[in-house]
Structure 1
């Protein structure tokens, strides 16, 4: 799958998260959710039977649109099931169809979609494909600035009828939760994406084996999400779990910056468990916080705002981290092993590293690669620290008082 194929799905997935929040607020949750599943199935069918790459890209975009509704709807249904009774039908039926259509904020969505596309293209093309000062990148940045300014202006003017209602995003816990998932989710994506590359490049293992070696992160995340859920159910408070979670992510990411070429298994297993435990404790509780402080009718909108922030955080910081690694490798290889073609090493990837550089240059290349990836982990350190600050700003409210 090429980057264009992936981007076609992600663009619709990210851009339509917020509009689905409005759909789930003003229309039948069941009908919108079933329609989203149907759209996803149609997109998957198009991909499976696509005779050309263009048809495959269209199928991916359609599947991304459906998955946006599934993702947003799943969060809304879960929130209603755990924290609230579903809003009475009379409350939704008090709006006419024209009023509900006006609530969809079509102009805001129309501006948001090209803005997201510009952002993703800048992050994918800037540096590796086009120089940052090239005409395509400058045009995309200008387009991003114009769409972002227009979108913010529309949100401020439309107020409660906007895609991101200022009344909701200005709520202290929602604002801090949004910042938390943007940073903590971004740190998790960076860690999970680049750690397998470290295994492939430094330890010389295959891609499948590198995937199995990040199981400690996954295990820690899953297990401690249950621990956090049980703890919040008992105590009623989610804020301490977010604070401890961000702190553990910060510790795990900081320790990972000390990786070296001969790091033993005990080191990378323990560091992963610490980082994964932090992600499991904190990230889901940010969603719980928004569901707790918002009124029942605002929960779908609040849920998709957090989902959108988490998705965009992961995407933005993965691209930033990739640029950090690329820059470190290009400069480091040029200084340490000038006889090698640095760009060729980047193009070949981590799994082909040993066969490309030869035994006489391998040690120097591994040192440069290790340094580059540990600098990437510094990005996860900074994001985890920012998440800790966001967690410290959370309100201390009990979920038991909302039931």
Structure 2
């Protein structure tokens, strides 16, 4: 692995446009790995050595570029959480209580199924125009959803939005990689990721206000002006191209071959069956039911066929094995899976703590999450600056995993009567922890791969992030349901879990008998604590996996010219 990393560092120096006509001596030189060579000779478009191709964006244009891609990712993640507060009004308008699960599932399934494919697309076409295409598809889905006249139309709109969202996160990361040199990327990626994460936290707050004072349709109309501003500004910014320019006709033909469509058609149903099993298990169907077992078996069997096909395709595969077997790459992908599992679990269930246990409104619960938002953003930007100056990202990822596990574990001590200082302080611990490591797996993957493979690597990271969130939200929902049922037998024996579920996290105070309300509050408190144990376990896994992302500097090796 050290050989591979040394080779990649030398490769970046060569393509950066530095003058190689004069002999130079590097401070560290090691043999080149044959595995790394096979990775770089993959059939994706080559990276030119033209010095002009490696000019980076600076000044106000860089500020605008980072700002608009951050805004696009913000509205995308806002869209994933804002729908939760709109669902009650939607079901009332369409009389579609039985379709509730599909309002979130259709979006998630489309996004996860397409994400690996988007990496291949970005590796063949301009990152700017590809990003704008995915943004257009996302906005189209938002418009369809806002104009829906039936539940089926709304589900289709959510699926179209998910298709567009599949290319936004990795597209934003690819654009940042094209605009900013590696040793400066951590701070910009940290800003972009932390800004995007605010969308998840603010979704219930904004959605509650829009639903209460206007209509649920504005939860989706709001995406259009933000997307329009993003597209307009990005249109006038020149994003450096890192792929070899070729005629559109030739590029389309070669792209159809390189996209590995058979691999996509094997991967998509694999991901969809697994996600459906996780979402339906313990909710719509029992975990031991034929439906859930069949989905797990179908997903597993299809995955084996997919692996065999990808192995046969070699470096032409949608997910090249030569890339995945690099330790830094697979460790970073698994790390970000657990990292965002903890992140989303805390974001969703802190809101439930405030609304169900503390009894505050959805709007006020969003305000109470500000300690997490502000501490996470400050830590992400700070760690990004320090990575740029010190060069190493691994220490911040390790500290992040440790603090995330501690912070999530401490959240489990929250009670209905916990003081304001307690829940603020505990949020800050976890927020700082997650902020320190927010962008480190991304920087690690970009540092480990040649520029021609960056977009494919970012698609793997984006998929791992999305899948990790879906996986742990499913675990958390099961943990909440199980913990709530056990706690109700202890604190409110006269109330059934079905009655509490029907009343909702905020409605039980009015719908259930007054004598049982306090017992239900205690039950929710204990159940949410169980969920934070799951988040703490994800944080602990992040700590362990962080050690595998490589002790490697993002700074260029110093060069020394020999004396004449």
Which TM class, normalised by the smaller chain length? over 0.9
| More off after superposition, 266-275 vs 354-363 | 354-363
| More off after superposition, 127-136 vs 173-182 | 127-136
CA distance in 2, matches of 1:171, 1:325: 37
Equivalent of residue 14 in structure 1, options 108, 112, 132: 112
SS in 2 for 1:7: helix
Alignment-derived partner of residue 293 in structure 1 = 448
SS in 2 for 1:262: coil
Q: TM-score, normalised by structure 2?
A: 0.68
Larger helix fraction of residues = 1
CA distance in 2, matches of 1:365, 1:112: 43
SS in 1 for 2:506: coil
Correspondence list, 1:208-223, <5 A: 208-223=363-378
Question: What is the deviation of 1:92?
Answer: 9.9
Alignment-derived partner of residue 143 in structure 1 = 298
Equivalent of residue 252 in structure 1, options 381, 399, 407: 407
Alignment-derived partner of residue 131 in structure 1 = 286
The answer to whether structure 1 residue 116 and structure 2 residue 271 are counterparts is yes
Alignment-derived partner of residue 154 in structure 2 = 56
Alignment-derived partner of residue 4 in structure 1 = 102
Correspondence list, 1:3-402, <5 A: 3-83=101-181, 86-89=241-244, 97-401=252-556
**Conservation of the 8 A alpha-carbon contact between 2:127 and 2:241:** no
Cα distance change of structure 1 residues 52 and 209 upon mapping to structure 2, 3 Å threshold? same
| More off after superposition, 219-228 vs 29-38 | 29-38
| More off after superposition, 157-166 vs 81-90 | 81-90
CA distance in 1, matches of 2:177, 2:260: 24
Question: What is the deviation of 1:147?
Answer: 2.0
CA distance in 2, matches of 1:340, 1:88: 62
**Conservation of the 8 A alpha-carbon contact between 1:44 and 1:59:** yes
Question: What is the deviation of 1:280?
Answer: 1.0
Cα distance change of structure 1 residues 370 and 49 upon mapping to structure 2, 3 Å threshold? closer
Question: What is the deviation of 1:88?
Answer: 4.7
Q: Deviations along 1:263-303, whole A, 9 cap, x unmatched?
A: 11111111111111111110211111111111000110111
CA distance in 2, matches of 1:91, 1:284: 33
Question: What is the deviation of 1:216?
Answer: 1.0
| More off after superposition, 122-131 vs 315-324 | 122-131
Cα distance change of structure 1 residues 88 and 56 upon mapping to structure 2, 3 Å threshold? closer
SS in 2 for 1:142: helix
**Conservation of the 8 A alpha-carbon contact between 1:36 and 1:69:** yes
**Conservation of the 8 A alpha-carbon contact between 1:334 and 1:342:** no
RMSD: 2.2
Question: What is the deviation of 1:96?
Answer: 6.2
Count of residue correspondences = 403
Q: Deviations along 1:366-391, whole A, 9 cap, x unmatched?
A: 32221111111000111101000011
Cα distance change of structure 1 residues 18 and 88 upon mapping to structure 2, 3 Å threshold? closer
Question: What is the deviation of 1:141?
Answer: 1.9
CA distance in 1, matches of 2:510, 2:146: 35
CA distance in 2, matches of 1:166, 1:229: 30
Q: TM-score, normalised by structure 1?
A: 0.94
Question: What is the deviation of 1:59?
Answer: 2.0
CA distance in 2, matches of 1:394, 1:139: 36
Alignment-derived partner of residue 33 in structure 2 = none
CA distance in 2, matches of 1:379, 1:5: 25
Cα distance change of structure 1 residues 300 and 88 upon mapping to structure 2, 3 Å threshold? closer
| More off after superposition, 97-106 vs 298-307 | 97-106
Cα distance change of structure 1 residues 256 and 135 upon mapping to structure 2, 3 Å threshold? same
Question: What is the deviation of 1:25?
Answer: 0.6
| More off after superposition, 114-123 vs 361-370 | 361-370
CA distance in 2, matches of 1:80, 1:15: 26
| More off after superposition, 201-210 vs 52-61 | 52-61
Q: Deviations along 1:96-128, whole A, 9 cap, x unmatched?
A: 654432221111211221122212221221112
Stretches of structure 1 that go unaligned for 5 or more consecutive residues are none
CA distance in 2, matches of 1:339, 1:41: 48
